[in-house]
Amino acid sequence: MVQKLNLLKESASQTAGPYVHIGCVPNFCGIEGVYPEDLGASMVNDKTQGERITIRGKVIDGTGTPLKDVMLEIWQADHNGLYPAANEHRGEADSNFTGWGRKAGDYTSGEYVFETIKPGIVPFFDGRPMAPHITFWVVARGINVGLHTRMYFPEEEAANAADPILTRLEHQVRVPTLIGKKTGESEYTFDIVLQGENETVFFDI
C-alpha cells in the first residue's frame, strides 16, 4: 500500500542541544571508550611541518557572557597553503596535519583551545591570494544553523589589506572582528561575539 504524501511532514527544527557533546566529543563529557580520543582533538603530531600555534578564545553572547556549551570546528590549509582534500590539485598537503579540528568550550569558563599550525596563503577562486586564515564553525544551544566565520592574523597586515574577502566587506570598521590578537610568541586569542557591539562578521555559506 502506498503511503499518502500528505502524511510526510517536515519535522520541527532543533538547535544544537545538550546531546551534541555526547555524539561529537564523548570523551570530553566523560563518556570514554567510544574513541581513543575525540575526533578532531589532535591536528598535529611530532612530524607536522610549519609554525606551531595555539588559538584560544570564547564565544560571547549579546549580554557579554561566554557560552558554556559551545562546540567549534576549524578548517585550514597547511603551512604551504595546501588542503588535505581530494580536490587539492596544487600539490600534496602535509600528511602529518589533519587540517581539521573540533573542540568544546570549557564547561566552567567557556574557553576553547586549538593546538595547530599557522596556515599558508591560499588562492581565491579567481586566483588572487587570500591572507593566511582559519575558518571557524560554531554551534551551541540556541543556534539553529551553525555559524561560519574566519580568523586572520594580525601580523599579516599587507596580506590582510589585499585579501579578496576582507576588502569586499561593506563596513570596513568590522574587519577587526575577524583579526585574532597575538598574546604570545606563538599564541593568539580569538573571541567570537554573537550579538551587539563588536559583533563578529559571519559568512553565509
Q: Is the separation of the CB atoms in 200 and 178 below 8 Å?
A: yes
Give the domain range for residue 151: 38-193
Asked if the structure places residue 106 within a domain, the reply is yes
Task: With respect to residue 200, please indicate whether it lies within any of the assigned structural domains.
Answer: no
Q: What is the mean pLDDT of each run of 10 residues along the chain (205 residues)?
A: 64 66 87 90 96 98 92 97 86 94 95 98 95 96 88 97 96 96 96 94 91
The answer to whether residue 48 is domain-embedded is: yes
Query: Which distant-in-sequence residues (6+ apart) come within 8 Å of 203 by Cβ?
Result: 148, 149, 150
The pLDDT of residue 158: 97
Q: Which three cell numbers stand for residue 163?
A: 585579501
Q: Where are the beta strands (DSSP E) in the chain?
A: 52-57, 59-60, 71-75, 100-104, 112-117, 122-123, 129-130, 133-139, 147-152, 181-184, 187-189, 192-193
**86 in a structural domain:** yes
List the end-to-end C-alpha distance of the chain, in Å, as a whole number: 41
Residue 116's DSSP bridge partners are 53
Residue 188 counted as domain residue: yes
Tell me, what's the pLDDT at 96?
Answer: 96
CA distance 66 to 127: 38
Residue 98 covered by a domain:
yes
- Total domain count for the chain? 1
114: closest CA among 123, 105, 125, 127?
105
Residue 9 falls inside a structural domain: no
Give me the pLDDT at residue 22, please. Answer: 82
Q: What is the CATH number of the domain that holds 115?
A: 2.60.130.10
Residue at 15 is within a domain: no
How far apart, in whole angstroms, are the C-alpha atoms of residue 170 and residue 128?
Answer: 19
Sign for the CA dihedral angle at 151, 69, 186, 97 comes to negative
Burial 9-30 (b: 16+ CB within 10 A, else e): eeeeeeebeeebbeebbbebbe
